[in-house]
């Protein structure tokens, strides 16, 4: 969790909305305007094309076939609005082959079925089996090649066409534009005898997709007529380039806006950090859809407004708007940010009912939520439920185990990943090296680092070298870490020097720490974390004067220390604490508990790590300053108000201090509880007087 994390009520608590999934619609200001659906559907359209109704389609097709009505059977097939199963295409081919007489409808229907199901080679063979195809069929095959990004094949079809219409020209122009070949797209555009609004819009979209806004605007301004797609494409271009003033200017000029226009602007403002502008547009939309709601949920989540994001998710459901994959993913991401595990579990139940949990898109978000909320066992279960895992699924599971300190398990998942045929990528190797670093597996980490180019074709980037510096430094191999930095093909950045500074603090190498810190200060003069780290190094060495100079230098340069906060979820509320906090309604009980616990800690042999206090004050005062750190307050509250037998999960926005780490180990033994603490670097599992990190963090 980064230091810039925001919560609305930092000194008390805020309620997490309990999701009520009943269909009752309360009065609120978010009512969407729904339009009634047509009642004039044809009989064939009464068949649903969901997977659960496949039997209905089979019965209909089979009935026609048994009665010798082959063309009718094919028409039933062609009437399907969704052909997601290749089994239907094979069945259609069987019908086609049995037909005694085949007409244009039969040939075109089968060709379209192949193309729409992505079976482009079958479509190509069918097309080459006869000569007298209609223009519709030529366009269909060319469009299939364009969708597959097979431009050479698409161009071959285009060049062989006996006649061409506007669809032919628009399809080939769009193909070149979408593949970034704008010079050829422009040449064809100028050559085209028919330039309708779709031809012009294809060029605008092509230039936008390739980041050429000036060319896009030039075409846009020359358009003899524009439709909403044209306007939206140009607006989207400005939004993608963060030019929100230009986007807003076009938006205001639009003669008629549709939902896509509003949604594009909302998304643009939200992604640019102007969440108030996004909310204003949302409130003034004439008609909202699921994309509008999802854009606002994502916007609030990305801008650190977790409470608002979760409330919007609840309001979306209450407004009877269908909860889509995007809204679930954004809500799960928000739960991850604030470690709201109980709400995350509620969302899990809801998405199971919606049938989304086995797909990789929502499945990966669910997996990440459990990992970041400190429930690694449930993360593993979510991982196993994803039917078709992609590289993100594997990376998330590996990274989850790594952050939880289970290095061996992370490497086991990595080895299993390799057996599935999914190729590791840059992110995979970062997670693997991080796992080795967290677990102190120097030899294995080095082997993975030096073999990843040979085994997986991955060239080590700066982030991989930084992981190795961290791995070597934490293991006390400071000289090896420095040599690696000298010989790597990149200039070290602040993160790399930060890894060396952190290792210097762990092993008490003040001279090396000073060197690393001074370089970081030149690169990032306002990085407060590095000033604090060097101050702690000075304090641990008894150099109080130098520690004081660091605080003075921070003040003179206007560097502000990020305040430390800890929070936990209890009964659907997030309770937040800062050091010495007395604003919580149960502060009296918390402080009484800690006073009593202090006596028990001393009896168990706990000694305060006063060297971590970088103020030159009396020892007794140092002990007092350490006693009421935010993570201790949060842990105390959890012990008091979370039922026995349940883990206590605490989140801190900064790295846990050495004294709190030591104290919580003792506390876990005294109270007999599992305490899981997530700081901004990793998870710590405290149980029975020890920590999963083995004091290696």
* Helices 360-372 and 391-403, axial angle in degrees (round to 10): 0
- Sorting pLDDT into bands at 50, 70 and 90, what band is 624? low
- Give residue 32's pLDDT: 40
* Rg of the chain on CA atoms, in Å: 31
- Sorting pLDDT into bands at 50, 70 and 90, what band is 274? very high
Among 526, 585, 520, residue whose Cα is nearest residue 555: 526
* 683 contacts 676 by C-beta, under 8 angstroms: yes
Among 423, 442, 424, 425, residue whose Cα is nearest residue 433: 442
Is pLDDT at 294 greater than 80 in this prediction? Answer: yes
149 in the Ramachandran plot: left (φ > 0), alpha (ψ -120 to 50) or beta?
left
DSSP per residue over 206-242, as a string?
A: HHHHTT-HHHHHHHHHH-SS--HHHHHHHHHHHHHTT
* 231 contacts 254 by C-beta, under 8 angstroms: yes
The Cα 562–Cα 566 span in angstroms is 13
The enclosing H or E element of 13 equals: strand 13-15
- Give residue 97's pLDDT: 76
SS (H, E, C) 283-333: HHCCCCCHHHHHHHHHHHHHCCCHHHHHHHHHHHHHCCCCCCHHHHHHHHH
Q: Beta-strand (E) ranges in 481-592? A: 565-570, 573-578
CA angle 23–361–30, rounded 5-degree value: 35
- Sorting pLDDT into bands at 50, 70 and 90, what band is 76? low
Exposure class string for 11-36: b at 16+ Cβ within 10 A, else e: ebbbebbebeeeeeeeeeebebeeee
The Cα 339–Cα 678 span in angstroms is 9
- Give residue 320's pLDDT: 64
Residue 578 pairs in a beta bridge with 565
Among 472, 536, 523, residue whose Cα is nearest residue 499: 472
The Cα 319–Cα 313 span in angstroms is 10
The Cα 3–Cα 303 span in angstroms is 14
Tokens coding 576 = 């937040």
Strand order in the sheet with 13-15: 13-15, 573-578, 565-570, 648-652, 675-678, 683-687, 690-691
Q: What share of the chain is helix, strand, coil (3-state, %, to 5)?
A: 65, 5, 30
φ and ψ of 127, to 5 deg: -65, -40
Is pLDDT at 614 greater than 80 in this prediction? Answer: no
> How many C-beta atoms surround the C-beta of residue 180 within 10 A?
12
Distances (CA, A) of 254 to 113, 228, 247, 317: 38, 8, 11, 31
The Cα 554–Cα 675 span in angstroms is 35
Q: What is the pLDDT of residues 560-606, one digit of tens each?
A: 888 889 999 998 788 999 998 899 999 999 999 999 999 999 999 98
The Cα 269–Cα 277 span in angstroms is 6
- Sorting pLDDT into bands at 50, 70 and 90, what band is 28? very low
Among 151, 395, 102, 425, residue whose Cα is nearest residue 379: 395
- Give residue 20's pLDDT: 43
- The sign of the torsion formed by the CA atoms of 494, 498, 500, 501 equals positive
Among 165, 236, 164, 225, residue whose Cα is nearest residue 200: 225
> How many C-beta atoms surround the C-beta of residue 672 within 10 A?
10
Mean pLDDT value across residues 221-249: 93
Mean pLDDT value across residues 475-490: 94
The label of the residue with tokens 């082997």 reads: 447
Q: Report which DSSP code applies to 655.
A: P
- Give residue 25's pLDDT: 37
- Sorting pLDDT into bands at 50, 70 and 90, what band is 393? very high
Mean pLDDT value across residues 247-260: 93
* 354 contacts 387 by C-beta, under 8 angstroms: no
Dihedral, 69, 71, 73, 74 alpha carbons, nearest 10: 170
Largest CA distance in the chain: 101
For the question of whether the overall pTM of this predicted structure is more than 0.85, the answer is no
Kindly report which listed range (77-81, 164-168, 314-318, 645-649) carries the lowest average pLDDT score: 77-81
- Give residue 678's pLDDT: 94
The Cα 84–Cα 452 span in angstroms is 38
φ and ψ of 14, to 5 deg: -130, 150
* 653 contacts 3 by C-beta, under 8 angstroms: yes
Q: What is the pLDDT of residues 394-450, one digit of tens each?
A: 999 999 999 998 999 999 999 999 999 899 999 999 999 999 998 889 999 999 999
103 in the Ramachandran plot: left (φ > 0), alpha (ψ -120 to 50) or beta?
beta
* 106 contacts 73 by C-beta, under 8 angstroms: no
């Amino acid at each position: 969790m980064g230091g810039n994390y925001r919560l609305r009520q930092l000194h008390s608590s805020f309620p997490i909305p309990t999701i009520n999934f009943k269909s009752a619609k309360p009065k609120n200001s978010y009512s969407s305007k729904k339009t009634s659906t047509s009642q004039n559907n044809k009989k064939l359209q009464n068949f649903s094309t969901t997977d659960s109704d496949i039997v209905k389609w089979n019965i209909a097709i089979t009935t026609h076939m048994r009665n010798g009505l082959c063309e009718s059977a094919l028409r039933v097939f062609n009437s399907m609005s969704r052909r997601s199963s290749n089994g239907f295409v094979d069945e259609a081919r069987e019908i086609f082959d049995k037909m005694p007489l085949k007409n244009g409808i039969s040939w075109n229907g089968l060709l379209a079925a192949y193309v729409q199901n992505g079976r482009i080679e079958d479509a190509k063979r069918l097309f080459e089996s006869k000569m007298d195809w209609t223009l519709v069929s030529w366009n269909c095959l060319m469009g299939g090649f364009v969708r597959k990004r097979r431009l050479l094949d698409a161009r071959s079809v285009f060049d062989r066409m006996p006649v061409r219409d506007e669809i032919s020209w628009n399809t080939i122009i769009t193909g070149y534009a979408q593949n970034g070949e704008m010079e050829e797209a422009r040449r064809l555009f100028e050559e085209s005898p028919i330039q309708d609004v779709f031809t012009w819009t294809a060029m605008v979209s092509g230039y936008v997709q390739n980041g050429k806004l000036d060319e896009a605007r030039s075409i846009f301004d020359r358009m003899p007529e524009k439709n909403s797609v044209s306007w939206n494409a140009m607006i989207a271009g400005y939004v993608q380039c963060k030019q929100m003033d230009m986007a807003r200017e076009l938006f205001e000029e639009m003669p008629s806006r549709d939902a896509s226009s509003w949604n594009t602007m909302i998304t643009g403002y939200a992604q640019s950090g102007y969440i108030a502008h996004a909310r204003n547009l949302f409130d003034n939309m004439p008609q909202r859809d699921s994309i509008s709601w999802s854009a606002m949920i994502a916007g609030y989540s990305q801008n650190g407004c977790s409470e608002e994001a979760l409330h919007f998710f609840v309001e979306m459901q209450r407004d009877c708007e269908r909860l889509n994959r995007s809204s679930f993913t954004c809500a799960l991401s928000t739960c991850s940010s604030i470690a709201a595990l109980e709400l995350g579990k509620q969302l899990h139940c809801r998405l199971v009912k919606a049938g989304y949990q086995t797909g990789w898109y929502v499945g990966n978000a669910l997996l990440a939520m459990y990992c970041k909320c400190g429930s690694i066992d449930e993360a593993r279960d979510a991982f196993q439920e994803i039917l078709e895992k992609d590289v993100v699924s594997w990376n998330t599971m590996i990274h989850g185990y790594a952050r939880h300190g289970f290095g061996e398990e992370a490497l086991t998942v990595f080895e299993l990943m390799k057996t599935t045929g999914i190729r590791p990528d840059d992110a995979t190797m970062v997670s693997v090296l991080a796992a080795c670093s967290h677990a102190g597996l120097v030899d294995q980490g080095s082997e993975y680092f030096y073999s990843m180019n040979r085994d997986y074709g991955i060239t080590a980037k700066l982030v991989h070298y930084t992981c190795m510096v961290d791995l070597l430094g934490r293991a006390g191999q400071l000289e090896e870490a420095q040599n690696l930095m000298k010989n790597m093909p990149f200039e070290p950045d602040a993160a790399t020097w930060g890894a060396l500074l952190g290792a210097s603090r762990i092993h008490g190498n003040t001279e090396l720490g000073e060197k690393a810190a001074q370089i970081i200060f030149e690169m990032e003069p306002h990085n407060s974390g590095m000033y604090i780290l060097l101050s702690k190094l000075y304090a641990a060495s008894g150099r109080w004067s130098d520690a004081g100079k660091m605080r003075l230098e921070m003040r003179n340069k206007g560097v502000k220390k990020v305040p430390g906060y800890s929070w936990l979820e209890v009964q659907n509320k997030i309770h937040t604490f800062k050091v010495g906090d007395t604003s919580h309604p149960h502060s009296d009980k918390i402080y009484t508990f800690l006073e009593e616990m202090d006596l028990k800690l001393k009896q168990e042999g706990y000694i305060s790590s006063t060297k971590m206090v970088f103020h030159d004050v009396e020892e007794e005062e140092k002990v007092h300053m350490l006693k009421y750190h935010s993570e201790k307050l949060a842990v105390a509250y959890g012990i008091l108000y979370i039922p026995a037998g349940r883990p206590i999960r605490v989140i801190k926005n900064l790295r846990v201090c050495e004294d709190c780490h030591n104290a919580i180990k003792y506390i876990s033994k005294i109270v007999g509880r599992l305490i899981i603490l997530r700081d901004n670097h990793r998870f710590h599992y405290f149980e029975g007087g020890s920590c999963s990190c083995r004091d290696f963090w």
